[in-house]
């Protein structure tokens, strides 16, 4: 039996910039996969837009006779929907030209971006919370509950203390962080001490937090006087995050989000704790052997992650909602999971992903009111992006990206 | 590129040894033969017929079977179930009942035909490693293969089990089967191979016959002359540094693994612990390092009690530790070489403090260590996972030797390490001894223990059976490793 498996050695030649660029583009680079995932989601979204419109769909019934009709109508619908999405997220060119020619207000031109940033701000914090925990090997499903606790603590502090300006805001923000820290520390401690899996405990704590909030807002002293529905007193204006007011809802929270992103990036890459958590996340056995306390790292990490999510909840109450309601935290904790995944667990990537999700949310509002496309399409787009990100092999197969070397057999070709 | 224009030919009924260092491309080559990887160029010819293997299924159909270095068995399945897996016989069509009785009968038949005793009803997880390997071989043989690829089969075996395996290989070739034997152990190659092909950096660098000397084979493998003997002067033992008395430790399942061990290691000497893997050596060392609870007894470093102290405290007290399982406990593969070199010093000056890291110092240290310990990597910023096993081990050793030590503990310091690096690591360990450090070496390679140690403690079932001098005859130590004390009476070996 003869075997002659060989690999050709390519002659070393000078590569042009374009060669290198194309090779990097088509290799299994994750940035490419992310961009292509978004593109794929948009394409499938377009199909859904057409399918969900009965008027356009009717034109497809005589597609073979006059295909132009159906295609034209589809294209009109899709382009209208997506241009509304873009206008709602980034701004309407008409509003800008009105502003520049003096016939419109600058506030109207900038309102879409303001909306995008407003929706993005809390997602940055919850996304960072999930990313950071993930780098330490923990799956923090509890960002939602931690954000709810952040809302509660920040809200209570915001209407209770009546401190002077600036100080009141700082105290309320710190309260929000501490609320989240508490809700992160508990599962961290349970994991470190008893080995209780953080996924289970954080899911349970999500329910606890949500139900606690629902109970709390209808208690005497919390509920707004004279109201019978579930809403708390309003946060004192001195405790609110400053914003431009009017249609520009964007508030200081987005600035805070950028600062905190930089802080988390520093923590991960330049701090001793970041080193510990990355070591524990990548190989807890080796970390333990090198003298790093895995239990302590888990506990501190969950507390820090909880604090981040709590801060996200606090910005939601102090910057946007100004009062507690049972749904004040919306879905920011769970969206944070998706944001972290899309941002590939890197701080700046998470920030970018949160901005994208914020833009989809803001644009979706306009798409719904102008083009009559259900806001749910935005959820579908978000979900599709995440599905494609989670299945890179699928994306690579669709675009015929150069296949990974070992074709998924888990064989390490490096070993002799 | 792992393989570059390799030609090999295997004749019926021969043992063809494929010799090469770690990372030389042996496994890559065999994975192509077994259909796990596809060659970019070149062809595979079986019995004069060119073949293309898209998957192991094609390879098996062409009569090629493989036993991987890491067994591909399901631990909670029985032997018969594992052997049937992938070629299950069913009654009543492809979706019918599993024919367990037939699977069992097939196993017994193959096992009898080739003289490989296996119990079809035993659970894999209950079997010793040697028996698991036998199951893998039986599994390949039930597929009616003519060529059996054994990838580093002896890496996990005791000396006795190795002899048994070599006997099995011999009898299989006598029945007309061909075997490709992948290894980097020279002694075994000389014992069993009919022909030897040496691979270095993905290329065939030579062929040899079994009467080629070990030194010549090693030189072919590494590309330069290497010394296989550990060169050392007599030890000058000083005061007792590590004292272990009456130590009792349990394993992960709560079963007593170390059962009353007493030993002491003096400054400037190497105490070697010989023993078949799984006789409590792992637990003993982990207990000393604070990684496992000390149930009873004492562990003292220069009369300071270590029992119950954290691993960090123990490391900081001047203990260097090379864990036995490098990829599991030694390095963080996702981290860079530079980061791995400070894995236990990241929060101390000069590399950082409790809050921040000093990247410049960390990088400077890495450059220095990479040079000093001859770590072959593209740059200190490469991930540890991209390095060969030997170089990963050098990273661990460089890290642990880069601070003043009183005690140096190395478990299996050269497991899965190529010949060239073994020589280097052994020299480093002896140098550490000569600087007055107390050294404890645990190894299941008897050659290594005998070469390095000034005294040898033989461990069996959680106890130290005897402490002997390295001049003791091998057979005597081998018998002690098998738990037989007293005068050696019978001849050992199967060949």
Q: What is the pLDDT of residues B76-129, one digit of tens each?
A: 999 998 988 887 777 777 777 778 888 888 889 988 888 888 888 989 888 877
Among A115, A259, A242, A246, CA closest to A172: A242
Residue A12 is predicted with a pLDDT of 37
What average pLDDT does the structure give for chain A?
87
Residue A399 has pLDDT above 50, yes or no: yes
Residue B454, token pair as written in the block: 């000034």
Q: How confident is the model at residue A258 (pLDDT cuts 50, 70, 90)?
A: very high
Q: Which residue in this structure is represented by tokens 């910005």? A: A315
Among A413, A334, A400, CA closest to A130: A334
Residue B279 has pLDDT above 80, yes or no: yes
Q: Which of A1, A8, A271 shows the shortest C-beta gap to B46? A: A1
**What is the C-alpha to C-alpha distance for residues A117 and B81, in angstroms, rounded to an integer?**
58
Question: What are the C-alpha distances in Å from A406 to residues A109, A411, A412, B214?
Answer: 52, 6, 7, 35
Q: What is the chain A residue with the closest CA to B286?
A: A289
Residue B490 has pLDDT above 60, yes or no: no
Q: What is the pLDDT of residues B311-320, one digit of tens each?
A: 999 999 999 9
Residue A373, token pair as written in the block: 């496309």
Put simply, whether B34 touches A (Cβ < 8 Å) is: no
Residue B330 has pLDDT above 70, yes or no: yes
Query: Angle A30-51/A67-90 helices, nearest 10 degrees?
Result: 120
Residue B491 is predicted with a pLDDT of 41
Q: Taking a C-beta distance cutoff of 8 angstroms, is the pair B18, B30 a contact? A: yes
Tell me if B332 and A286 make a contact (CB, 8 A cut-off).
yes
- In B, which residues are within 8 Å of A409 by CB distance? 36-37
Among A12, A41, A8, CA closest to A389: A41
Domains delineated in chain B: 15-222 (3.40.50.300), 227-318+404-495 (3.40.50.300), 334-401 (no CATH)
Tell me if A270 and B359 make a contact (CB, 8 A cut-off).
yes
Q: Is A16 part of a structural domain of the chain?
A: no
Residue A386 is predicted with a pLDDT of 84
**What is the C-alpha to C-alpha distance for residues B424 and B406, in angstroms, rounded to an integer?**
21
* Interval B166-177 mean pLDDT: 90
Which residues of chain B from 173 to 192 reach within 8 Å of chain A, CB to CB?
Answer: 178
SS3 B314: helix
CA distance B493 to chain A (A): 30
**What is the C-alpha to C-alpha distance for residues A229 and A223, in angstroms, rounded to an integer?**
8
Q: Which residue in this structure is represented by tokens 């097939």? A: B106
Q: Taking a C-beta distance cutoff of 8 angstroms, is the pair A131, A347 a contact? A: yes
Residue A401 is predicted with a pLDDT of 66
Q: Is A97 part of a structural domain of the chain?
A: no
What average pLDDT does the structure give for chain B?
87
Per the structure, how many domains does chain A have?
Answer: 1
Residue A406 has pLDDT above 80, yes or no: no
Tell me if A289 and B329 make a contact (CB, 8 A cut-off).
yes
* Interval B20-43 mean pLDDT: 81
Residue A22 is predicted with a pLDDT of 54
* Interval A280-309 mean pLDDT: 96
Q: How confident is the model at residue A4 (pLDDT cuts 50, 70, 90)?
A: very low
> Which range has the worst mean pLDDT, A252-266, A349-363, B64-78?
B64-78
Contacts with A267 (C-beta within 8 Å, 6 or more apart), sequence order: A132, A273, A274, A304
* Interval A291-314 mean pLDDT: 97
Residue B474 is predicted with a pLDDT of 84
Q: A43: how many CB neighbours lie within 10 A of its CB?
A: 12
Of B84-93, B135-144, B153-162, B434-443, highest mean pLDDT: B434-443
Put simply, whether B289 touches A (Cβ < 8 Å) is: yes
Residue A407 is predicted with a pLDDT of 37
pTM across the whole model: 0.80
Sheet containing B240-250: which strands, arranged edge to edge? B256-266, B240-250, B296-301, B304-305
Q: Taking a C-beta distance cutoff of 8 angstroms, is the pair A321, A251 a contact? A: no
Among A411, A363, A171, A234, CA closest to B56: A411
Q: What is the pLDDT of residues A94-132, one digit of tens each?
A: 999 999 998 888 888 999 999 999 999 999 999 999 999
Residue B309 is predicted with a pLDDT of 94
Q: How confident is the model at residue A59 (pLDDT cuts 50, 70, 90)?
A: confident
> How many CB pairs (< 8 A) connect A and B?
167
**What is the C-alpha to C-alpha distance for residues B19 and A110, in angstroms, rounded to an integer?**
70
**What is the C-alpha to C-alpha distance for residues B371 and B387, in angstroms, rounded to an integer?**
15
* Interval A11-34 mean pLDDT: 58
Tell me if A7 and B33 make a contact (CB, 8 A cut-off).
no
Compute the CA torsion angle B487, B490, B491, B492 (nearest 10 deg): -80
Backbone angles phi, psi at A15, to 5 degrees: -95, 140
Task: Specify the pairing of strand B256-266 against strand A2-3.
Answer: unpaired
Q: Which of A7, A270, A275 shows the shortest C-beta gap to B40? A: A7
Q: Which of B29, B344, B357 shows the shortest C-beta gap to A5? A: B29
Distance from first CA to last CA of chain A, Å, rounded? 22
- In A, which residues are within 8 Å of B333 by CB distance? 282-283
Beta bridge partners, B424, equal none
Residue B405 has pLDDT above 90, yes or no: yes
Among B93, B91, B111, B110, CA closest to B101: B91
Q: Is A269 part of a structural domain of the chain?
A: yes
> Which range has the worst mean pLDDT, A14-18, A269-273, B46-50?
A14-18
Q: Is A254 part of a structural domain of the chain?
A: yes
> If you compute the radius of gyration of chain A from its CA atoms, what whole number of angstroms results?
25
Residue A16 has pLDDT above 70, yes or no: no
- Cα B51 to the chain's mean position, in Å? 34
- In A, which residues are within 8 Å of B58 by CB distance? none
CA distance B492 to chain A (A): 32
**What is the C-alpha to C-alpha distance for residues A188 and A185, in angstroms, rounded to an integer?**
5
Q: Is A312 part of a structural domain of the chain?
A: yes
* Interval A370-386 mean pLDDT: 87
**What is the C-alpha to C-alpha distance for residues A328 and B57, in angstroms, rounded to an integer?**
57
Tell me if A2 and B45 make a contact (CB, 8 A cut-off).
yes
More confident residue, A3 or B425: B425
Beta bridge partners, B321, equal B409
Among B327, B440, B328, CA closest to B391: B327
Of A3-12, B53-62, B398-407, highest mean pLDDT: B398-407
Question: What are the C-alpha distances in Å from B141 to residues A59, A93, A338, B78, B201?
Answer: 64, 73, 49, 17, 32
More confident residue, A40 or B37: A40
Which residues of chain B from 211 to 240 reach within 8 Å of chain A, CB to CB?
Answer: none
Q: B109: how many CB neighbours lie within 10 A of its CB?
A: 11
Task: Specify the pairing of strand B203-208 against strand B195-200.
Answer: antiparallel
**What is the C-alpha to C-alpha distance for residues A390 and A20, in angstroms, rounded to an integer?**
27
- In A, which residues are within 8 Å of B40 by CB distance? 6-8
Q: Which residue in this structure is represented by tokens 């940033």? A: A117
Tell me if B42 and A6 make a contact (CB, 8 A cut-off).
yes
Q: Is A111 part of a structural domain of the chain?
A: no
> Which range has the worst mean pLDDT, A178-182, A334-338, B200-204?
B200-204
Residue B41 is predicted with a pLDDT of 83
Q: Is A109 part of a structural domain of the chain?
A: no
Q: Is A414 part of a structural domain of the chain?
A: no
* Interval A195-209 mean pLDDT: 95
Put simply, whether B70 touches A (Cβ < 8 Å) is: no
If 0-12 CB within 10 Å is exposed, 13-18 middle and 19+ buried, where does residue A347 land?
A: buried
Among A194, A209, A144, A206, CA closest to A298: A194
* Interval B46-61 mean pLDDT: 87
Among B272, B210, B175, CA closest to B472: B272
Residue B157 has pLDDT above 90, yes or no: no
Residue B301 has pLDDT above 60, yes or no: yes
* Interval A290-294 mean pLDDT: 95
- In A, which residues are within 8 Å of B291 by CB distance? 288-289
* Interval B472-486 mean pLDDT: 83
Put simply, whether B336 touches A (Cβ < 8 Å) is: no
Q: What is the pLDDT of residues A136-165, one digit of tens each?
A: 999 999 999 999 999 999 999 999 998 998
Q: Which residue in this structure is represented by tokens 């360990």? A: B429
CA distance A214 to chain B (A): 40
Residue A10 has pLDDT above 80, yes or no: no
Question: What are the C-alpha distances in Å from B32 to residues A411, B41, B179?
Answer: 11, 11, 16
Residue A261 has pLDDT above 80, yes or no: yes
Put simply, whether B359 touches A (Cβ < 8 Å) is: yes
**What is the C-alpha to C-alpha distance for residues B336 and B117, in angstroms, rounded to an integer?**
46
Residue A404 has pLDDT above 70, yes or no: no
The domain containing residue A205 runs over which residues? Answer: 122-357
Of A288-302, A395-409, B224-238, B388-402, highest mean pLDDT: A288-302
Put simply, whether B331 touches A (Cβ < 8 Å) is: yes
* 3-state SS string for chain A: CEECCECCCCCCCCCCHHHHHHHHHHCCCHHHHHHHHHHHHHHHHHHHHHHCCHHHHHHHHHCCCCHHHHHHHHHHHHHHHHHHHHHHHHCCHHHHHHHHHCCCCHHHHHHHHHHHHHHHHHHHHHHHHHHHHHHCCCCCCCHHHHHHHHHHHHHHHHHHCCCCCCHHHHHHHHHHHHHHHHHHHHHHHHHHHHCCCHHHHHHHHHHHHHHHHHHHCCCCCCECCCCCCCCECECCHHHCCCEEECCEEEECHHHHHHHHHHHHHHHHHHEHHHHHHHHHHHCHHHHHHCCCCHHHHHHHHHHHHHHHHHHHHHHHHHHHHCECCCCCCCCHHHHHHHHHHHCCCCHHHHHHHHHHHHHHHHHHHHHHHHHCCCCHHHHHHHHHHHHHHHCHHHHHHHCCCCCCCCCCCCCCCCCC
Task: Specify the pairing of strand B203-208 against strand B240-250.
Answer: unpaired
Among A35, A43, A37, CA closest to A78: A43
CA distance A411 to chain B (A): 8
Residue B425 is predicted with a pLDDT of 92
């Amino acid at each position: 039996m003869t075997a002659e498996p060989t690999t050709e050695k390519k002659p070393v030649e000078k590569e042009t910039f374009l060669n290198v660029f194309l090779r990097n583009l088509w290799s299994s680079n994750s940035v490419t996969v992310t961009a292509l995932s978004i593109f794929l989601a948009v394409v499938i979204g377009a199909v859904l837009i057409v399918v969900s419109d009965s008027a356009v769909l009717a034109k497809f019934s005589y597609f073979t006779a006059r295909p132009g009709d159906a295609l034209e109508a589809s294209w009109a619908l899709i382009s209208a929907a997506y241009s509304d999405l873009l206008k709602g997220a980034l701004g309407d060119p008409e509003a800008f030209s009105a502003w520049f020619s003096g016939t419109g207000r600058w506030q109207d031109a900038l309102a879409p971006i303001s909306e995008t940033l407003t929706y993005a701000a809390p997602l940055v914090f919850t996304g960072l919370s999930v990313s950071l925990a993930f780098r330490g090997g923990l799956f923090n499903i509890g960002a939602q509950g931690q954000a709810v606790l952040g809302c509660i603590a920040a809200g209570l502090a915001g209407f209770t203390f009546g401190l002077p300006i600036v100080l009141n805001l700082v105290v309320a923000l710190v309260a929000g962080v501490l609320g989240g820290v508490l809700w992160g520390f508990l599962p961290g401690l349970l994991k470190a001490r008893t080995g209780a899996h953080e996924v289970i405990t954080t899911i349970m704590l999500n329910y606890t937090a949500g139900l606690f909030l629902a109970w709390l807002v209808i208690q005497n002293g919390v509920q707004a006087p004279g109201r019978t529905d579930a809403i708390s007193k309003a946060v004192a204006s001195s405790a609110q995050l400053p914003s431009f007011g009017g249609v520009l809802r964007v508030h200081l929270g987005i600035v805070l989000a950028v600062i905190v992103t930089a802080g988390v990036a520093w923590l991960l890459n330049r701090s001793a704790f970041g080193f510990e958590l990355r070591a524990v996340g990548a190989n807890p056995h080796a970390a333990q052997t090198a003298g790093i306390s895995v239990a302590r790292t888990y506990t501190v990490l969950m507390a820090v992650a909880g604090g981040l999510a709590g801060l996200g909840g606090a910005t939601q109450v102090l910057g946007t909602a100004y009062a507690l309601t049972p749904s004040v935290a919306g879905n920011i904790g769970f969206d944070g999971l998706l944001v972290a995944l899309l941002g590939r667990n890197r701080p700046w990537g998470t920030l970018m992903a949160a901005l994208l999700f914020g833009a989809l949310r803001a644009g979706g509002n306009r798409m719904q009111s102008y083009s009559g496309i259900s806001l749910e399409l935005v959820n579908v787009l978000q979900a599709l992006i995440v599905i494609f990100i989670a299945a890179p092999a699928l994306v690579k197969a669709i675009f015929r990206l150069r296949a990974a070397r070992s074709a998924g057999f888990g064989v390490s070709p490096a070993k002799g | 590129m792992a393989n570059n224009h390799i030609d090999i030919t295997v004749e019926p009924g021969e043992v063809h040894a494929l010799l090469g260092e770690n990372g030389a491309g042996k496994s890559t080559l065999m994975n192509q033969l077994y259909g796990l990887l596809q060659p970019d160029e070149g062809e595979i010819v079986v019995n004069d017929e060119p073949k293309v293997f898209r998957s192991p299924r094609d390879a098996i159909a062409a009569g090629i079977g493989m036993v991987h270095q890491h067994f591909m068995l399901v631990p909670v399945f029985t032997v018969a179930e594992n052997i049937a897996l992938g070629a299950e016989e069913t009654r009543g069509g492809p979706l019918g009942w599993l024919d367990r009785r037939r699977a069992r009968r097939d196993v017994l038949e193959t096992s009898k035909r080739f003289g490989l005793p296996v119990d079809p009803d035993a659970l894999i997880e209950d079997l010793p490693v040697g028996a698991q390997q036998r199951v893998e071989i039986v599994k390949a043989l039930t597929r009616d293969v003519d060529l059996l690829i054994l990838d580093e089969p002896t890496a996990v075996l005791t000396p006795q089990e190795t002899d048994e395996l070599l006997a099995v290989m011999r009898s299989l070739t006598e029945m007309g089967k061909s075997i490709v034997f992948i290894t980097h152990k020279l002694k075994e190659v000389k014992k069993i191979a009919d022909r030897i092909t040496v691979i270095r950096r993905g290329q065939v660098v030579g062929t040899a016959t079994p009467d080629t000397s070990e030194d010549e084979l090693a030189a072919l493998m590494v590309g330069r002359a290497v010394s296989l003997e550990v060169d050392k002067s007599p030890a000058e033992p000083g005061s007792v540094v590590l004292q272990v008395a009456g130590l009792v430790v349990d394993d992960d399942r709560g079963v007593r693994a170390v059962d009353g061990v007493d030993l002491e290691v003096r400054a400037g000497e190497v105490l070697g612990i010989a023993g078949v893997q799984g006789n409590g050596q792992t637990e003993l060392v982990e207990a000393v390092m604070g990684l496992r609870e000390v149930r009873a007894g004492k562990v003292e470093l220069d009369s300071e009690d270590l029992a119950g102290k954290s691993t960090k405290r123990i490391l900081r007290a001047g203990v260097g530790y090379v864990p036995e399982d490098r990829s599991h406990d030694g390095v963080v593969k996702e981290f860079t070489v530079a980061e791995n070199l400070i894995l236990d010093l990241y929060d101390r000056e000069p590399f950082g403090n409790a809050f921040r890291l000093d990247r410049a110092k960390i990088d400077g240290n890495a450059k220095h260590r990479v040079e000093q310990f001859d770590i072959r990597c593209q740059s200190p910023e490469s991930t540890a996972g991209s390095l060969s096993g030997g170089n990963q081990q050098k990273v661990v050793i460089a890290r642990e030797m880069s601070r003043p030590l009183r005690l140096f503990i190395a478990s299996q310091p050269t497991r899965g390490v190529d010949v060239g690096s073994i020589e280097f690591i052994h020299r480093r360990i002896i140098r550490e001894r000569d600087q007055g450090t107390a050294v404890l070496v645990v190894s299941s390679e008897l050659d290594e223990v005998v070469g390095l140690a000034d005294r040898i403690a033989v461990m069996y079932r959680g106890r130290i059976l005897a402490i002997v001098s390295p001049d003791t005859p091998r057979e005597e130590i081998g018998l002690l490793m098998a738990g037989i004390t007293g005068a050696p009476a019978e001849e050992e070996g199967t060949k």
